[in-house]
Structure formats: structure tokens, C-alpha cells
Structure 1
Amino acid sequence: MIKPSALILAIMMLASCQNAEELKSEQYFVEGYQLYTTHCANCHQPDGKGMSNLYPPLAGSPALTNKALISCVIKNGMRDTIQVNGKVFSRPMPANPKLTEIEIAEIVSFVSMKWGKDSTYTKIETVQAALQGCKTY
């Protein structure tokens, strides 16, 4: 039987093998997941596949490569008709004005790492710059 102190020591040793960027990526992913679950999953679904013809999927969406766009849409919402994976969606997305810049960075990190091809977190500076230049969508 493994002693609890030995298990804690082993976990600490494994965690110390990661560099600061890897740890931050994991932190943003986990916190982004929690925020996504609270603020986004109701429409975009836990699996990111959206809701039939009502809400677009995030999984496989080419928009995931545009972190500025995602940041602006999360903060300010969207009223445009869009096409995702060959399907047209016209339901408006509500704004999330109460989300902080760090929370938006965490959500963008989660969705771009989970369903995009990104492997690192989205820096808060990226979100700050995006939010200063947001267009109305």
C-alpha cells in the first residue's frame, strides 16, 4: 500500500518537471473549461458540437484560429448570420459584459486547445489588444 506522503511527493516531483508555460496552459485550460461549462455549454454544448440548426459548433470551426474574433464575440456577443462547417446560423449570441479579460483568455484557451489545433494558452495581452479593437458582429 502506498503511503499518502509518498503519493504527494511523487505528484510534486511530476509537477516540478513541467515548465511555467506548460503549467499556465494547464491552468487556463482547466479554468476555461469551468467558465465554458457555466457560460457557453448550454448553447454550444459540452462537446462543442452546437445545437442542431440553432447554435453553431465550435468543434471544427475555422473561427477558432482567430483569437481576436473569439474574444470580441465572447465579450460583446454577435448578431451576424454566420456559416460554420457548411451550415448557416442566424441566432444572435448574447454579450457577456461581466466576464473579465482573464476569464475571456481562459475560455479562448480552452476552446482553442480543445477543438482547435492550439497547444498553448491565450495570453491576457492577446485578449486585451483584441478587445480594444473589437468590431460589432
Structure 2
Amino acid sequence: MKQRSYRSFTARILVFTVLGLTSCRSSEELKSEQYFVTGQQLYMTHCANCHQMEGKGMSNLYPPIVGSATISDKARLARIIQHGMSDTIIVNGKKFSRPMPPNPKLTEIEIAEIVSFVTMKWGKDSVYTPIEFVHKALAVSGAD
């Protein structure tokens, strides 16, 4: 009985500790984490087949995201995700000519989440990309 009481007490302490730690985080931190996690799931569904799970691309077929200058231009990245890309690009000294198909069914929030994941994982961002930013970026017509 004593051991059961101890386990119950320990479980309660753990729950209160977790609640206390998460409640101390700002809404921006929580939103960044949410965008990152959801963006990662969307990336796995829509992007990883070609760009691979770790963003390294596929040899000479599909370009890596890691080390690409595109991830430093979030507006361009958002437009490429939605509209695709047919131009030849050079990433890390390698030429890639295969077209990237458009993703017209992705919503602006989903694009914001993918951009957030990519730029937080492999870029220099530490915060999420707001949907308002993506909305403005997509208002510029066509792909880059």
C-alpha cells in the first residue's frame, strides 16, 4: 500500500512539474513548436519523397534543402512550395534540372508550417513563419 501511495505521489509531482514548465513558456514559443511539429509531418508527406527525411535530396535527381540558398528567402520558398519550379538550379555546386511539381491543394497555413519546419531545422530561423507572411508572399503571382 505504501509503494502505491508513493507512486501516486510521484505521478502527481511529475504532472505538476510538466504543467509548470509548459505554462512558463510564451505563446510564441508554443506556436513555434506547434508549427515545427506540424510542418515536419507535412514535410514528410509532401516533400521527403524527393528531398529525403534529412533534407539532403537524392544524388543528382533532386536538390538538397540543406545548404540551399532558397531556405534563406522564405517568401520565395513559400511560392516554390505552392507553385512548383521548372528552372534549373544550382545547389552546393551541383546542377538540378528536374521540375518540382506544384502543391495547389496545400493551404496557406500548411505552407507556413512547412516553411517554418524547413527554416527552423536547416536554416537559421528559431521562430515560426506566420501565415500572414505566407499570404503576402503568395500574393506575388507565379513561381520563382
Same fold (TM over 0.5): yes
* Alignment match of 2:112 (pick from 105, 117, 120): 105
Structure possessing the higher radius of gyration over alpha carbons: 2
Q: Which residue of 2 aligns with 1:128?
A: 135
Residue 123 of structure 2: which of 116, 127, 136 is its match? 116
Map 1:1-137 to 2 at 5 A.
Answer: 1=7, 3-137=10-144
Matched-pair contact (CA < 8 Å) for 2:78–2:134: yes
Distance (whole Å) between structure 1 residues aligned to residue 97 and residue 119 of structure 2: 23
Query: Mind listing any 5+ residue stretches in structure 2 that lack a counterpart?
Result: 1-6
Q: CA deviation at 1:10?
A: 1.3
Any gaps of 5 or more consecutive residues in structure 1? none
Residue aligned with 2:18, SS: helix
Give the superposition deviation at 1:117.
0.7
Identical amino acids, percent of aligned pairs:
63
Matched residues in 2 for 1:49 and 1:134: separation?
29
Aligned residues: 137
Distance 2:19 2:106 in 1: 32
**TM-score, with normalisation over the residues of structure 2?**
0.91
Tell me how far apart the structure 2 counterparts of residues 128 and 41 of structure 1 sit (CA, whole Å): 24
Deviation larger for 63-72 or 4-13 = 4-13
